[in-house]
Structure 1
Amino acid sequence: MSATTASPARGRGGRERILTAAAHLFATQGINATGMEQIAEAAPVSKRTLYAHFRTKGDLVIAHLEGLASSGATLEGVLTRDDIPPRERILGLFDLPAPDGTPVRGCPFIDAAAEFPDPDNTVHSYAREQKLRMVRLVTALVTELGCERPDALAEQLVTLADGAASRAMVLGEADYGRHARAAAETLLAHALPAGT
């Protein structure tokens, strides 16, 4: 750590510091490229403290993903907001969060599944659960809107959203979702009951 970088205070709050350090490192260099020793140093905590909170790196990754899921800061977060009409929640899937100085990462659940490709791995399984939750939320919203064939439409919309998030990450364009949003607007327009 450079002399100009402020170091987090040691002491209480080790779990939160570990999760904060892991989130930053996972976003900037990927999960598999980030070592536990590096996370301990960035937190800063001893390796003993790190392993007291997270027995394995997989446990830490799951806790990180759970924190993202509950924060509402992921692609899916907009779907559960009650202050936005259903149609706008669906279209909000295509507005990727602006990068905060880190590279555009797209969907953290897709990223995690790609880094843990074994479908039986707990990280991959958790990512899959989140993607299935996403389609259930979209299905509920398009059903509420009265759209025809809500299950098929929801699958089409989440496929667009996930594809846009992946392309945004590969191309480094946070606003790439605008292309998929236009397609989603067309899908919704054709699926909505006449006069809606």
Structure 2
Amino acid sequence: MANTGADVVPLSPRKRLLAASIRLFYRNGIQSTGVSELCEVAGVSKRTLYQLYGGKDELIAAYLEHMSDKLVIPVERKLFDDELAPADRLAQLFDRPDPERFRGCPFHNASVELTTPGHPAQPVIHAYKENFRRRIADTAREAGLRDPEDLGRSLMLLYEGASALATSTGDVAAFDSARPVAEKLIREAAA
């Protein structure tokens, strides 16, 4: 029987606003995306946004909470790819991203844009970065690599640098330069 669409449940206004923020904040930037544009894309009124989220700042925090899911960000999925050996998962963090879709780390981008002390998104950003570092260290531990905490910090620093440089220059080749360094660190930790 063909799907007539009658059984499709429309997204709630809250979910539509979140979907609009995911689409617009990453592509255009947080500060460049206004409340009017968010509401237009979501098909809701400004009043609805303020009733549901209290304001743009709280929507930003909700956007980042959503993005912190391990399966949303492609680099995160690599760390959970059980078909690869743990050491290979670490090296795969440095695969060249698709230049047409890559706009950097949404958490780094948000941190650069949101400089107001006490912004509701700051704790979400800090928690994500700590969890990402911990996942890298846990993967190093799973691989049986020496000093996984130190290796996790080093690989995260290398990844963050490659990602920031690629974002700043618009050239994802930074990952091509970072990968051999990452592989060397992984080899040395295995010896």
Query: How would you bin the TM-score normalised by the shorter chain?
Result: 0.7 to 0.9
Residues 142-157 of structure 1: matches in 2 within 5 Å?
142-157=140-155
1:38 corresponds to 2:37 = yes
Structure 2, unpaired ranges of 5+: 1-9
Question: How well do the aligned residues superpose, as a CA RMSD in angstroms?
Answer: 2.1
1:92 CA displacement: 2.4
Structure 2 length-normalised TM: 0.84
Q: Distance in 2 between matches of 1:55 and 1:42?
A: 18
Show CA shifts across 1:7-30 (max 9, x none): xxxx75322221222222212321
Partner of 1:121: 119
- Whichever residue aligns with residue 82 of structure 1, its letter is D
- State the 1:122 CA deviation: 2.4
Q: Which runs of 4+ in 1 moved over 4 A?
A: none
Amino acid aligned to 2:86: P
Change (3 A) 1:28 1:144: closer
Q: Counterpart of 1:17 in structure 2: which amino acid?
A: R
The code of the aligned residue for 2:132 comes to M
Indicate the residue corresponding to 1:98 in structure 2: 98
Using structure 1 for the length normalisation, give the TM-score: 0.82
Unaligned runs of 5+ in 1: 1-10
Q: CA 1:127–1:77 in structure 2 vs 1: closer, same or farther (change >3 Å)?
A: farther
The correspondence of residues 72-87 of structure 1 with structure 2, limited to 5 A, is 72-74=71-73, 75-87=75-87
Higher mean alpha-carbon deviation, 66-75 vs 179-188, is at 66-75
Q: Report percent identity of matched pairs.
A: 33
Give the number of aligned pairs.
Answer: 181
